[in-house]
Structure 1
Amino acid sequence: MNRFHVHLNVADLASSIRFYTALFAAEPAVRKDDYAKWMLDDPRVNFAISQTGRNPGVDHLGIQAESGDELAELGHRLDAAGGTVMPEAGAVCCYAQSDKLWTEDPQGTRWETFHTVGAATSYYASQAMCGTEGATCAPAASPVEAVAAAPRSGCAPGSACC
């Protein structure tokens, strides 16, 4: 079963953690100096917040798949919706390693579908994998089927992820 994903940029991580911990009546499943994530079952959502210097507000929405097959099915649905689907295999982001498919809806809201395959020790992959400090490695637009063969970029398309 898939899980809805919401990622917010926040100005004050500690205050936001207090607020969402009270709202969800649960401690974050992951808590770092710049990031926190709740894996809730009621409602079934992967809710993440980060303080990485970006403007506060919704960063992106998404759907977390529980398997590679579910991710592929979501990719076909994204493709049918008509947006450009950008695969990102083996991405390191938000203290996790995931295979991802990115797109935007008609008004430009970024959507991330992903299947997490492991943990990571950093928010992003090392900048050495991307080139210059602060750079991102956006994969070229390609068909959904290419997700398994996509190069391991190590960075999120656009600017943030998770």
Structure 2
Amino acid sequence: MIRRLDNTKHTVATQIYDIFQASYQIEAALIGIAYFPPLARTIDDINAAQTQFYGYFEEQELAAIVEISMQDTVLSIESLTVSPAFFRKGIARKLLCFVMEEYPFSRALVETAAVNAPAIALYKKQGFVAVKKWTPAHGIEKVAMSISSTEHS
């Protein structure tokens, strides 16, 4: 089941934080880096975020989270994380499809590390295409991917 998460509640922000930490530690290892900016995000940061959070629940357990924002008709996938206990179950795809159906968009955007092959494969399967590669100040090469509403079926 997918439902909206109220990140302004401390207990919910803590649950989001815990999944972010577990998932991003694995992503940092995959990328092969010691400093991974998403790991620096605090419970207070999540609690104060102006983005929308949705959780995927397996029975009563929060298994995955998608964080989004909308600006005009552009849907931005800010984060998509799955608890390691729930990897390889298609949950990330379900969350991605959910937000793309729930939020009418002209374009959807996502960014990930250029070496994050599992994430890139997920987005490509959903029709996203790479539109930009760059290396920000933190030194981790990133790729931006995009899909228009007309390309989304």
Normalization by structure 2: what TM-score? 0.29
**Which is bigger in relative contact order (C-alpha 8 A, separation at least 6)?**
1
Normalization by structure 1: what TM-score? 0.28
